[in-house]
Amino acid sequence: MAAPAHKMTAMPELSRAVADWVETVRELTQPRSVHWIEGNDAEARELTAQLVRARELTVLNAQEFPGCHLYRSSPNDVARVEHLTYICTRSQEDAGPNNHWMDPQQAHARMRELFRGCMRERTLYVIPYCMGPLESPMSRRGVEITDSPYVVLNMLIMTRAGRAALELIARDGRFVKGLHSIGELDPERRFIMHYPEELAIESYGSGYGGNALLGKKCHALRIASWQARTEGWLAEHMLIVGLQNPEGETHYIACAFPSACGKTNLAMLVPPESMPGWRVLTIGEDIAWLHPGPDGRLWAINPEAGCFGVVPGTNPQTNRNAYEMIRRDTLFTNVALTADNQPWWEGLTSGKPVLDWQGRPYDPARGPAAHPNSRFTVAARGNPSYSSRMEDPAGVPITAIVFGGRRREVAPLVYEARDWRHGVLVGASLASETTAAAVGQVGVVRRDPMAMQPFCGYNFGDYWQHWLEVGARLTRPPGVFHVNWFRRDSEGKFLWPGYGENLRVLAWMLDRCAGKAGATESPIGRLPLPADLNTRGLSIRPEALAALCSIDADVWRRECAQLREYLGGYGSHLPAALRAELEATERRLG
Ligand code: GTP
Ligand code: SPV
Ligand code: MN
């Protein structure tokens, strides 16, 4: 991406629009200096060295974890803050009951007071970035201004950032303006504001991932979902993965699971030994932008360039690819440390923590050693199952869409929607136990339609209508499925082994899409019988498998009643077709 230094123009000269905006922000925030991010390796190395000197980053054991660093956040800034995240549209109805709303003028006024003079003694960084391959017509650009060098390092990994992105902005003229300051890291002075009508974001008071890396959830989901609605595409909280079967045929699927419910792991799944010949090609692991193509299929790109993944639970048995990926050039946030400076987290089967995620001597009485939402930031290319199709400007065609939640009961291992319209209801019905990815209680079931509850930038009622309309334009729509890897027995143990074994379920889906595998009609959709799944080499009790492949009609009647009440909250915005689909399901349940 870097051009030879002697040929470079000063970056502000590339785009007047960006330079003017930076100047306005400089006057408001009063930084000591302004640094335009070029996006080359030397710059990243220098920023890293600077943070190491300032003791904000710790260099990890260079033999075992070469190029890796640890960052410890403020203990009160470890997750997304949904209660402080707002969609600021002129009309509250456009934001919908699914979002916190504030009047845009009121929000701007409030944020202006927080931002005033907030960068004194700090450097203001300008990060031009591109979401999606530089050459793709589906890509979109933005500029993040931040006073956090940690955020800069993350954005350099997570997006295509720097001069090349700014050149595209100069050509195209349009960009999302994202203003971020860590402020005082005071939870009482923290807001994440979105202005979809202005293509603008203002974030203050947090340095954590989704609150602060503005290209990610703020731009690529909340703002992009709004744009996607007006332009006829979809911006979704989905992984994208290619599955090559032993015959050499590859199909791509996109899966929407809520935060910390298995997208990264599925996107880089390691096939079980008893399924030889299968290959996994990772395209994306958190966000997908989906466009109807001229061939009537749905085409997907991954707007990101890296992964910001959950650390706990990662080990060579659960996911060898993930474990190998994070052993070099990785930025760890809030993990524990061993005596010889290796990162440590719950779920590792070797090593032992001496310092916890806050840098205190580890004391099990104070809770886990690594924060449950500790994260790794690493380039997508470091993944052993990385596929260069990720750089394809046309994206990849999608054969199946999979929704999934974390449900200890109710939802079976897998079921198939009857068609796209029913699939939209299945997506809208998604519910999942909350996780440590957001501040708040963990483990309570909440509705999380399409895994987008925290991320949809507009009224869910209008969003479901948009899904129906996108589907109507597809002559070869993907099959739609629902999965649950997280069913438990009465002792609280997972019924399904998960991880690599999930490929058995995915293989069934692809066979269904090809019209090959068997299935049984049920009131909620089509389920496999245990015999329809490839269970060769799988160690599972037959009763467990039978339980996973069945539904309890009473429980589902209750589930439908709850869904009906929830959907009713969207009033006249709820598409009639969804109400009709729900009624049909209720009739089938009797
Ligand atoms: P976000 O980055 O928050 O959007 O999360 P994600 O959906 O990418 O979740 P991720 O793959 O990081 O998984 C979150 C947690 O679930 C980790 O602790 C994983 O070890 C665990 N997990 C992932 N897949 C499975 C599975 O198939 N079964 C079980 N039991 N746990 C899983
Ligand atoms: C999630 O919470 O869904 C994440 C992490 O992927 S964050 O970037 O913080 O949104
Ligand atoms: Mn996510």
User: In this predicted model, what pLDDT tens digit does every residue of 192-202 receive, in sequence order?
Assistant: 999 999 999 99
> What is the whole-number distance in angstroms between the Cα of residue 331 and the centre of ligand 2?
16
* CA distance from start to end of the chain: 61
Q: Is the pLDDT of residue 5 over 70?
A: no
Helical (H) or strand (E) element with 480: strand 479-483
Q: What is the mean pLDDT of residues 144-154?
A: 98
HSE-CB at 175 with a 13 A cutoff on CA atoms is 29
Give the per-residue pLDDT at 1.
47
Report whether residue 149 contacts ligand 1, using a CB cutoff of 6 Å.
no
Distance (Å, whole) CA 126 – CA 147 = 9
Tell me which residue range forms the domain holding 108.
11-56+77-232
Q: Which ligand 2 atom is at minimum distance from the Cα of 263? A: 6
Q: Which ligand 1 atom is at minimum distance from the Cα of 312? A: 18
Q: What is the mean pLDDT of residues 25-47?
A: 98
> What is the whole-number distance in angstroms between the Cα of residue 308 and the centre of ligand 2?
7
Do 329 and 391 fall within a single domain? Answer: no
Which residue's alpha carbon is nearest to atom 5 within ligand 2? 210
Angle at the Cα of 440 (from 227 to 217), degrees rounded to 5? 20
Nearest to 450 by CA among 153, 221, 189, 223: 221
HSE-CB at 36 with a 13 A cutoff on CA atoms is 19
Entry pTM: 0.98
Q: What is the CATH classification number for the domain harbouring 413?
A: 3.90.228.20
Which residue's alpha carbon is nearest to atom 26 within ligand 1? 498
564 domain residue, yes or no: no
Amino acid at site 106: Q
Which residue's alpha carbon is nearest to atom 8 within ligand 2? 210
The torsion of the CA quartet 42, 44, 48, 51, rounded to 10 degrees, works out to 110
Nearest to 551 by CA among 487, 497, 480: 487
Which residue's alpha carbon is nearest to atom 7 within ligand 2? 210
Do 99 and 116 fall within a single domain? Answer: yes
Q: What is the pLDDT of residues 514-564, one digit of tens each?
A: 999 999 999 999 999 999 999 999 999 999 999 999 999 999 999 999 999
71 domain residue, yes or no: no
260 domain residue, yes or no: yes
Kindly give the pairing relationship between strand 85-87 and strand 100-101.
parallel
Give the per-residue pLDDT at 4.
53
Q: What is the mean pLDDT of residues 134-149?
A: 98
> What is the whole-number distance in angstroms between the Cα of residue 451 and the centre of ligand 2?
11
Q: What is the pLDDT of residues 426-463, one digit of tens each?
A: 999 999 999 999 999 999 999 999 999 999 999 999 99
Judge whether 274 and 450 are in contact, CB under 8 Å. Answer: no
Q: Is the pLDDT of residue 363 over 60?
A: yes
Do 21 and 131 fall within a single domain? Answer: yes
Do 281 and 424 fall within a single domain? Answer: yes
SS in 3 state form for 91-156? CHHHHCCCCEECCHHHHHHHHHHHHCCCCCCCEEEEEEEEECCCCCCCCEEEEEEECCHHHHHHHH
Q: What is the mean pLDDT of residues 6-30?
A: 94
Q: What is the mean pLDDT of residues 1-13?
A: 71
Q: Which ligand 1 atom is at minimum distance from the Cα of 319? A: 20
Amino acid at site 412: P
* Ligand 2 pocket test target in 217, 373, 450 with most atoms within 8 Å of CB: 217
Q: What is the CATH classification number for the domain harbouring 29?
A: 3.40.449.10
Give the per-residue pLDDT at 6.
56
Catalytic residue among 68, 88, 261, 560: 261
64 domain residue, yes or no: no
Q: What is the mean pLDDT of residues 317-333?
A: 97
Q: Which ligand 2 atom is at minimum distance from the Cα of 208? A: 9
Q: What is the mean pLDDT of residues 329-353?
A: 97
Domain final residue pick, 362, 382, 402: 382
HSE-CB at 563 with a 13 A cutoff on CA atoms is 24
Judge whether 504 and 538 are in contact, CB under 8 Å. Answer: yes
The proportion of the chain whose per-residue pLDDT surpasses 70, expressed as a percent, equals 99
Distance (Å, whole) CA 221 – CA 224 = 5
Residue 130 is among the residues annotated as catalytic for this protein: no
Do 169 and 281 fall within a single domain? Answer: no
3 domain residue, yes or no: no
The proportion of the chain whose per-residue pLDDT surpasses 90, expressed as a percent, equals 98
Report whether residue 264 contacts ligand 1, using a CB cutoff of 6 Å.
yes
Neighbours of 75 (CB within 10 A): 12
Give the per-residue pLDDT at 8.
80
581 domain residue, yes or no: no
Q: How many domains are contained in the chain?
A: 3
Judge whether 183 and 205 are in contact, CB under 8 Å. Answer: yes
Q: What is the pLDDT of residues 202-241, one digit of tens each?
A: 999 999 999 999 999 999 999 999 999 999 999 999 999 9
Q: What is the mean pLDDT of residues 269-281?
A: 98
Whole-number average pLDDT of the chain: 97
Report whether residue 312 contacts ligand 1, using a CB cutoff of 6 Å.
yes
Q: Is the pLDDT of residue 295 over 80?
A: yes
Report whether residue 498 contacts ligand 1, using a CB cutoff of 6 Å.
yes
Give the per-residue pLDDT at 315.
96
Do 123 and 172 fall within a single domain? Answer: yes
Do 468 and 539 fall within a single domain? Answer: yes
Q: Is the pLDDT of residue 421 over 90?
A: yes
Distance (Å, whole) CA 369 – CA 339 = 13
